[in-house]
Amino acid sequence: MFALRGIAVSFSVFAIVYCALSAAVCFGWRKFSLYGSRNSARRAADFLFAMRMLPLVAALAVTAMFTVPSFVLLEPRAIDEPVGPVTLLLSLCGALLVSFGVLNAASAARRSSRTVVGWMAGAERVESNSSVPVLRISRKVPAMTAAGILHPRVLMSGAAEFVLTVNELQSALRHEMAHVQRRDNLKKLLLRFVAFPGMAGLEAAWLEATEMAADDAAVSSAGEALDLAAALIKVSRLGPAESHADLTAALVHSPVSTMNARVKRLVAWNESRLVSAPRYSLWYALGAVAATAAGFAVTYSALLSRVHTATEWLVR
């Protein structure tokens, strides 16, 4: 009974924190949209992804660092205290959230895997200087896409190879390699795990930022930017990309308005985008971590006591 009560309380706290923060992010993320306009596309993409994952990370942290220890250390094992209906309902919600996330992510991975296997029928390895395999596929679309999470590869259609010049092809390949290096397909899988109503706008903004970040990583001069812009236009004319391969990063798969914005952005490319972000000393980061750890060490017992009091009220 003690273990069951602990599980019920843990799932209840997880559900409360996860749903409360998800609702806050859902309604409040647009207030931070100016952050993306003041920073590089890469920073904007990282910021939006961090906001999207915040509810899950915070819920797991609160549950693992406070709820479980406070219950195990402070809850009397000899008391046969029944679990109230509110706690049972909340724990069921928490369990359903986790189960749905796992099933949703697994379903997306299975669908994408089947689609990519179909695309790769008869694929041929292309010689390249990249550590990531580049495969030529017989299909016309997708023209170029980064597929796979554990074993990433870049798929390139023969039609794209035919219509693109050498420089355009290299720029497009660098764009896909940027997706692989930033593990964007893994991030898309995580987004399936944390599915929550009302997050479509935030996820669309993140997807747009990832494409622009990959564009920035692929070019280092105005000429390369024009080559990539030309590649986007030519590839978009080959035909619409398949929409059900969610866990892939195609060169062109976003809405027309987003692609137009990418082309305009590349045409207006300037060297200021190459200015690297200021790097902060490792000692400052270590100092901040040490200060945080010290603060937790001093107040941890008191925090556990307060969390236990809150969970006791929750159980009743």
Residue 81 has pLDDT above 70, yes or no: no
Q: Determine contact, residues 97/196, Cβ cutoff 8 Å.
A: no
In terms of DSSP bridges, do strands 134-137 and 153-157 run parallel, antiparallel, or are they unpaired?
Answer: parallel
Q: What is the model's pLDDT at position 312?
A: 77
Lowest mean per-residue pLDDT among 100-114, 134-148, 229-243: 229-243
DSSP notation for 138-151? SSSSSSEEEE-SSS
Q: In this prediction, what percent of the chain has a pLDDT beyond 70?
A: 89
Q: For residue 287, what pLDDT is reported?
A: 83
Has residue 236 been placed in a domain? yes
Share of the chain above pLDDT 90, in %: 58
For residue 202, CA distances in Å to 47, 66, 83, 297 come to: 11, 29, 37, 36
Does any domain span residue 301?
A: no
Cα(107)–Cα(99) distance, integer angstroms: 12
Tell whether the model's pLDDT for residue 93 goes beyond 90: yes
Per-residue pLDDT at 274: 59
Question: What pLDDT score does 272 carry?
Answer: 59
Asked whether residue 310 is domain-assigned, the answer is no
Residue 77 maps to a domain:
yes
Split at pLDDT 50, 70, 90, the class of 76 is: confident
Q: Residue 299 domain-assigned? A: no
- Counted domains in the chain: 1
* Residue 228 pLDDT > 90: yes
Identify the band that residue 86 occupies on the pLDDT scale cut at 50, 70 and 90: confident
Q: Flag whether 136 is in a domain.
A: yes
> Residue 37 falls within a domain, yes or no?
yes
Is the Cα dihedral 178, 181, 182, 183 positive or negative? positive
Range with lowest mean pLDDT among 199-213, 214-228, 271-285: 271-285
Which pLDDT score is estimated for 227? 96
225 has a pLDDT exceeding 90: yes
pLDDT confidence band for 144 (50 / 70 / 90): very high
Rounded average pLDDT over 184-213: 94
- Whole domain around residue 204: which residue ranges? 2-273
Average pLDDT on 180-190 reads: 96
Who contacts 177 (Cβ-Cβ below 8 Å, separation ≥6)? Answer: 130, 132, 146, 154, 218
Query: Mean per-residue pLDDT for 198-211?
Result: 92
Q: Is the confidence at residue 273, as pLDDT, over 80?
A: no
Q: Is a pLDDT exceeding 70 seen at residue 308?
A: yes
Residue 25 CB neighbours (<10 A): 19
